[in-house]
Amino acid sequence: MSKMKFYFAPMEGVTGYTLRNVHHTCYPGVDAYFTPFIAPNQHHAVNPKEHRDVVQTNNEGVPIVPQVLTNKPELFLWSARELKETYGYNEVNLNLGCPSKTVVSKHKGSGFLEDTEKLNRFFAEVFSEVEAASSQSAPGTPENRYPRISVKTRLGLDSVDEFANILQVYNQYPLSELIIHARVQKEFYKGEPHLDAFGDAMKEAKHSLCYNGDIWTLEDYIRVRGLFPEVRKFMIGRPLMANPELVQELQAYEASAAAGKEWKDYENSMEQLKVFHDRLLQGYLVQMNGDGNNVLFKMKELWGFMSRQFPGEERLIKKMVKSKNMEEYEKYSEKLFDNFGRG
């Protein structure tokens, strides 16, 4: 039986190359980090920010899958070729899951799911071109100008009932993988994922599936694994920002189960979390050329997730995220980690 795979979900403005590099160094084991989306335009150019995020020199040794956001087949095809030929990626992921209203209003991301006829025409044009270039070699191989194409999707805009028609579109095309966030657009990240709808999709899907949605704890993972034992791939986003060690815990559980050993409680290393925090801080200082204000913004953003690991320290965390300069921030962060001990 194939091993479990774990993906780090893309989060716009959050999971950039600095965080990915630091996480991969401190917590190795994630099988792929999906980048925040590249949004191609009519000028056929990767903007400087997107370039820095996907260029190989900023991602050395880190397993990366770049993501593209568009509803125009010609722009997607250009992006796929550019990411393969210029940047060296063998897989590109199409974003059909972003729930942001500004994205949805442009009929991109999960907004593209509203019109399945247009979605079908998009894929028909894309794969007609890809197949024409694939007579001698498969997408993703060195000889082919195109990478493999995977999709990250939601179940629809307003209702899970929409997904039956959406899945019929996907099933017509040779996607390398289908990642399903088990919510609809209007739910954003609220409420419980629709596990029943994911189960229905499993029965009909013709692609390799990856589950995405609210794997916050080992208990969450065990529950979803029990419902869908055939699923071998899981994508995790916000929970990995809250607990960067989560994938290592899940892998330890799988290793224990494979060895037939009784599972013992897993203890996260506060010392390693401190190392992660400090390296990320230094990484942002380098990335932002010592701009303390921007670095503080990025670190405060991190604590919006990671504060979950410090119950009872809400007052100190509040002081920390209200810090007005780096010296004040570092003083409070040191105190926070000292309060919890290191080990």
Instruction: Count H helices and E strands in the chain, helices first.
Output: 14, 9
Same domain, 102 and 144: yes
**124-144 pLDDT per residue, tens:** 999 999 999 988 899 999 999
Of the three residues 206, 228, 258, the one that is the final residue of a domain is: 258
Encoded amino acid at 256, one letter = S
Query: What was the pLDDT predicted at 136?
Result: 86
Q: Between vectors from CA 109 to CA 37 and to CA 68, what angle results, nearest 5°?
A: 30
Instruction: Say if 265 falls within a structural domain.
Output: no
In a domain, 38, yes or no: yes
**Residue 263 placed within a domain:** no
Structural domain count, the chain: 2
Domain span holding position 32: 5-258
The pLDDT value given to residue 340: 80
Strands (E), the chain: 5-8, 32-34, 64-65, 67-68, 91-96, 148-153, 177-181, 209-212, 233-236
Q: How far apart are the first and last CA of the chain?
A: 35
**Domain end marker among 236, 258, 280:** 258
CB 305 within 8 A of CB 277: no
Question: Is residue 75 domain-shared with residue 221, that is, in the same domain?
Answer: yes
| CA-based torsion, 22, 140, 116, 195: positive or negative | negative
- Residues 208 and 74 reside in one and the same domain: yes
Q: Write the CATH number for 184.
A: 3.20.20.70
In a domain, 54, yes or no: yes
Task: For residue 118, give the H/E element and its range.
Answer: helix 116-132
- Per run of 10 residues, the mean pLDDT along the chain (length 343 residues) is 89 96 98 97 89 97 98 98 97 98 97 98 98 92 96 98 98 98 97 97 97 98 97 98 98 95 92 97 96 93 94 94 94 93 52
Which of 224, 258, 292 finishes a domain?
A: 258
Summarize pLDDT for 38-53 with one digit per residue, the tens. Answer: 999 888 889 999 999 9
Nearest to 27 by CA among 219, 225, 238, 271: 271
* 57/185 same-domain check: yes
**Same domain assignment for residues 314 and 236:** no
What sign results for the dihedral spanned by CA atoms 198, 202, 207, 210? positive
Establish if 105 belongs to a structural domain: yes
- Interval 63-114: pLDDT, tens: 999 999 999 999 999 999 999 999 999 999 999 999 999 999 999 999 999 9
Per-residue exposure over 21-48, b if at least 16 CB sit within 10 Å of its own CB, e if not = bbbbebbeebebbbbbbbbbeeeeebee
pLDDT given at position 2: 66
Backbone φ/ψ region at 107: left (φ over 0), alpha (ψ -120 to 50), beta: left
Are 252 and 278 found together in one domain?
no
Q: Residue 264: inside a domain, yes or no?
A: no
